[in-house]
Amino acid sequence: MLSLTPKEISDRNALTVNPAKTCQPIGAMYAALGIHRCLPHSHGSQGCCAYHRSHLTRHYKEPVMASTSSFTEGAAVFGGMSNLRQAITNIFHIYDPDVIAVHTTCLSETIGDDLSTIILKARDEGLVPEGKWVIHCNTPSYAGSHVTGFSNMTTGMVKYFAQENERHREQINLIPGYVEPSDMREIKRLLAEMELPSVVFPDTSDVLDAPQQGAPVSVGKAADIYPKGGTRIRDLQSMGDSRVTLALGPFASENAAIELENRTEIPARIMDLPIGIAATDRFIQVLLETAEVLEPPASIADDRGRMVDIMLDMQQYFYDRKVAIYGDPDQVISLTEFAVSLGMKPIYVLTGTPGKRFDARIKGILKDVVPGARIKSSGDLFLLHQWIKNEPVDLLIGNTYGKYIARAEDIPFVRFGFPILDRVGHSYFPTVGYRGGMRLLEKMLDALLDRKDRDDPEERFELVL
């Protein structure tokens, strides 16, 4: 399908071909689902909302709820205020959420709807029932990416819910970044192992990986449509009492942590996503400092030991292999560092999300091992394919959209990141922490060894490789 991609690379500033990102509201919708009993609301036309929901549904293989302001020509001309007011009234009446989390779309941003004012007015006029919330963030999709949208909605949570209650608690805030529900579950497990009480937000575990048990319906009562997971409002309101905020992934989580620091003086510590051995080590070290203990619990130390064991056992298959990595910036940064620690050579590293920090960070990781690596933020998969046509790689790692490149160039392919539309498992098995690292190692090694089994000549085809 992509076999006609030309090798010759020309400068393109005004055209993206096969984007390595999706649009802002998708990330905002995903973050909003991480609040308990929250209905994400798309302030724009139905088509945007349908696309965002279906993309999330196809990735998580779960129904994704969201409502829309359902713009038509009238809203495009006169603004979307009356649509949103009607939506707020209907949604609380029919679906009874605790929170409506509104995000904008390209259209409502272009019109210039002032959501803060509309929401405030709706509250003053009694359209928002007592004890219920309408929060919002701006997500113009002609800028940023789904990661920016996630960051904006997470920051919106801080703006609306953070209070200084002057009740200092022993808990910490943890913003897990744009990761899978399985990763959020694993991060919570690590916090529990370290005996660190915490508010994790957003938290999509038990929302987008909820067990299939059927909706609990009592006689005479409507089915409760909300899953059991998500961060509770009372916990979000207590974030202003915490000792520290740990934010994983600067692109997805930094803004919210800084916003909270500015409002409440709770110090923000920004870290990489704990993907791979070094980033997980740093994360555990920060948890140790926060918990004021010197050693991690034996279970965590043992997990690390097992991961190192696999790395040593299989190092020969990773060593010197050229790899191309693309996807969301926070994930790609940690994964690139992990690949280097395995002895691999990430010669192409690309994200669709804008941000010069990405280039600088990757350059820093690769400067001694692959000084000539090609690195690009705001890049697209067409460019990545052209790079690969000029110098092939042994392994391609990224979201589902890379499968066309993998097929055209016959490259082993590991699906990683967002979106993964054609496989399952990613929302159930973590890739963060040592346990997640072991899973990543397995996936990467399987891809390399399956190829070796396929391609090795008869005399080198071994039962035990």
Residues of this chain that bind ligand SF4 (CB under 6 A): 23, 25, 48, 51, 105-106, 141
Going along 65-168, which residue ranges are E strands? Answer: 67-68, 99-104, 133-137
Nearer to ligand SF4, 106 or 365 (CB): 106
Least Cβ distance, residue 310 to ligand SF4 (angstroms)? 40
Is the Cβ of residue 19 or residue 392 nearer to ligand SF4 in the bound state?
19
CA distances from 431 to 163, 223, 274, 317, 320 (A): 33, 34, 9, 20, 23
CB of residue 111 to ligand SF4, shortest distance in Å = 12
Query: Cis ω on the peptide bond leading into residue 202 (within 30° of 0)?
Result: yes
d(CA 152, CA 141): 12
CA-to-CA distance for 144 and 311, rounded, in angstroms? 36
Give 151 or 431: the residue with its C-beta nearer to ligand SF4.
151
Dist CA 227 CA 63 (whole Å): 11
**Smallest separation, CB 351 to ligand SF4 (Å):** 18
Rounded to 5°, the CA angle 227-233-234 comes to 125
Q: Based on CB atoms, which residue is closest to ligand SF4, 51 or 404?
A: 51
Q: Which is nearer to ligand SF4, 143 or 192 (CB)?
A: 143
CB of 342 to ligand SF4, least distance (A): 36
| Least distance CB 20 / ligand SF4 (angstroms) | 15
Minimum distance, C-beta of residue 122 to ligand SF4, in the bound complex (Å): 22
For residue 437, with 0-12 CB atoms within 10 Å meaning exposed, 13-18 middle and 19 or more buried, which class applies? buried
Contacts of 175 (CB under 8 A, 6+ apart): 154, 200, 201, 245, 246, 247, 248, 252, 253, 256, 257
What residues have CB less than 8 Å from 316, skipping those under 6 apart?
Answer: none
Beta carbon of residue 376, minimum distance to ligand SF4 (angstroms, whole number): 21
Nearest alpha-carbon partner for 374 in 340, 349, 405: 349
Task: Name the strands in the sheet holding 322-327, side by side, starting at the edge strand that comes first in the sequence.
Answer: 374-376, 345-351, 322-327, 395-398, 413-415
Structure tokens of 419?
């979106």
Determine the Cα–Cα distance for residues 436 and 432; give it in Å rounded to an integer.
4
Number of Cβ within a 10 Å radius of residue 214: 7
Q: How far apart are CA 41 and CA 23, in angstroms?
A: 15
Which residues are CB-neighbours of 173 under 8 A, at least 6 positions away? 198, 199, 201, 239, 242, 244, 245, 246, 257, 260, 266
Contact criterion met (CB below 8 Å) for 375 and 363: yes
* Least Cβ distance, residue 66 to ligand SF4 (angstroms): 13
Which residue, 4 or 77, has its beta carbon nearer to ligand SF4? 77
Q: Specify the residue, 29 or 366, whose C-beta has the smaller distance to ligand SF4.
A: 29
Alpha carbons 374 and 77: distance in angstroms, whole number? 45
Nearer to ligand SF4, 152 or 231 (CB): 152
Q: Which is nearer to ligand SF4, 67 or 336 (CB)?
A: 67
Give the residue with the Cβ less far from ligand SF4, 26 or 432: 26
User: Residue 55 Cβ, how far from ligand SF4 at the closest point, in Å?
Assistant: 9
* Least distance (Å) between residue 69 CB and ligand SF4: 12
